[in-house]
């Protein structure tokens, strides 16, 4: 079984890829390989990870072009090219709260399921539980062992519960192969599967506000850098930023290097009543905490501080 994971840096796709490989290799008695590919950026940028599972040692360490399962941890990465990556009989696992038109796409509200346990949406383990439910390659017990082998003790208990919830939500019995499951669905003319297994309260905790930039009051004051299109977020930061930039305005020279180099176009100009730029500011709804601005600032007036401490003071 081969799996392509689509996600943004920071959403835990590589952890999920490794946990699935560990589930198959350490618990399921198979051979596995897991590795990521990252783009030119870091946190928040589109990335991919891969898991290969086989009955014999795997020599091919190249990236996958097609897979039996293509998992999207972030719905904004799903586009018209999805079919090209899917093997015949394969299945797409999409983190989305609504049904898909194509029966090959299984929608799982992974943000809501994980938010119900963790208090914030971290969708990676949800899709692990879903894979256990839709495949006979790994069982839920294997996935448990994979989580224990790859996650810190502090995170294990919550992620085991998330995997259990996802397995149950997808209707897991652990017996049907994904392709057989799919064939049966299609033959029966079944409607696309959508899983809503989280409370309304948890669902309300999940922020989905697409394309806010187009409605911002001063769109002309955001930069359009060369890497803006490739890496920018189109929905609000989902809560995975761990550090944030803090600007010392008393030292800032208004050179605008941070404004120009922020890969997400998140820094904007603030103008006075006459229209002159008086300072720069960060749109924290979109900032992903990558730290590029802090490295770029020639005056050294941007510090990256832990999100949960000084930043919220």
CA distance 242 to 155: 16
Least spacing, CB of residue 257 vs ligand SF4, in Å: 4
Tell me the DSSP string of 130-161. HHHHH-SSS-HHHHHHHHHHHS-HHHHHHHHH
Using the minimum distance from each CB to ligand SF4, give the nearer residue, 19 or 282.
282
Using the minimum distance from each CB to ligand SF4, give the nearer residue, 9 or 121.
9
Using the minimum distance from each CB to ligand SF4, give the nearer residue, 234 or 301.
301
Using the minimum distance from each CB to ligand SF4, give the nearer residue, 99 or 239.
239
In the complex, which residues of this chain contact ligand SF4 (CB under 6 A)? 245, 247, 252-258, 262, 264, 266-267, 280, 282, 287-293, 296-297, 299, 301-302
Q: How far is CA 175 from CA 87, 105, 136, 178, in A?
A: 20, 19, 5, 9
Q: How many CB atoms lie within 10 A of CB 141?
A: 13
Least spacing, CB of residue 284 vs ligand SF4, in Å: 8
Q: How far is CA 150 from CA 22, 32, 191, 289, in A?
A: 7, 14, 36, 24
Using the minimum distance from each CB to ligand SF4, give the nearer residue, 209 or 253.
253
Six-digit token string for 295: 């490295």
Using the minimum distance from each CB to ligand SF4, give the nearer residue, 20 or 287.
287
Least spacing, CB of residue 74 vs ligand SF4, in Å: 16
CA distance 224 to 255: 16
Least spacing, CB of residue 300 vs ligand SF4, in Å: 8
Least spacing, CB of residue 9 vs ligand SF4, in Å: 11
Using the minimum distance from each CB to ligand SF4, give the nearer residue, 88 or 300.
300
Six-digit token string for 38: 């990252």
Using the minimum distance from each CB to ligand SF4, give the nearer residue, 35 or 284.
284
The CA angle 62-67-73, to the nearest 5 degrees, is 100
C-alpha dihedral over 52, 125, 66, 107, to 10 degrees?
150
Least spacing, CB of residue 36 vs ligand SF4, in Å: 20
CA distance 225 to 215: 19
Inter-residue contact 237 to 287 (CB < 8 Å): yes
Six-digit token string for 65: 């072009």
The full length of the chain comes to: 313
Inter-residue contact 106 to 93 (CB < 8 Å): yes
């Amino acid at each position: 079984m081969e799996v392509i994971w689509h996600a943004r840096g920071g959403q835990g796709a590589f952890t999920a890829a490794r946990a699935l490989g560990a589930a198959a290799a350490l618990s399921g008695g198979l051979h596995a390989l897991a590795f990521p590919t990252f783009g030119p950026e870091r946190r928040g940028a589109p990335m991919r990870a891969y898991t290969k599972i086989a009955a014999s040692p795997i020599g091919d360490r190249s990236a996958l072009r097609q897979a039996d399962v293509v998992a999207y941890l972030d719905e904004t990465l799903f586009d018209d090219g999805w079919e090209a990556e899917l093997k015949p009989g394969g299945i797409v696992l999409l983190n989305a709260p609504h049904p898909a038109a194509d029966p090959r796409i299984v929608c799982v509200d992974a943000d809501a399921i994980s938010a119900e346990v963790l208090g914030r949406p971290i969708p990676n383990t949800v899709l692990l539980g879903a894979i256990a439910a839709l495949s006979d390659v790994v069982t839920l017990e294997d996935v448990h062992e994979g989580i224990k082998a790859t996650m810190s003790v502090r995170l294990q208990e919550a992620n085991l519960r998330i995997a259990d919830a996802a397995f149950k939500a997808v209707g897991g019995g652990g017996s049907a192969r994904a392709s057989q499951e799919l064939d049966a669905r299609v033959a029966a003319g079944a409607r696309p599967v959508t899983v809503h297994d989280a409370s309304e309260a948890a669902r309300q905790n999940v922020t989905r506000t697409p394309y806010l930039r187009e409605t911002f009051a001063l769109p002309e004051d955001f930069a359009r850098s060369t890497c803006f299109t490739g890496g920018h977020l189109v929905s609000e930061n989902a809560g995975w930023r761990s550090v944030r930039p803090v600007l010392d305005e008393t030292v800032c020279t208004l050179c605008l290097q941070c404004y120009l180099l922020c890969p997400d176009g998140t820094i904007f100009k603030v103008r006075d009543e006459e229209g002159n730029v008086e300072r720069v500011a960060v749109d924290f709804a979109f900032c992903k905490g990558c730290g590029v601005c802090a490295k770029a600032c020639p005056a050294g007036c941007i510090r990256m501080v832990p999100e949960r401490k000084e930043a919220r003071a």
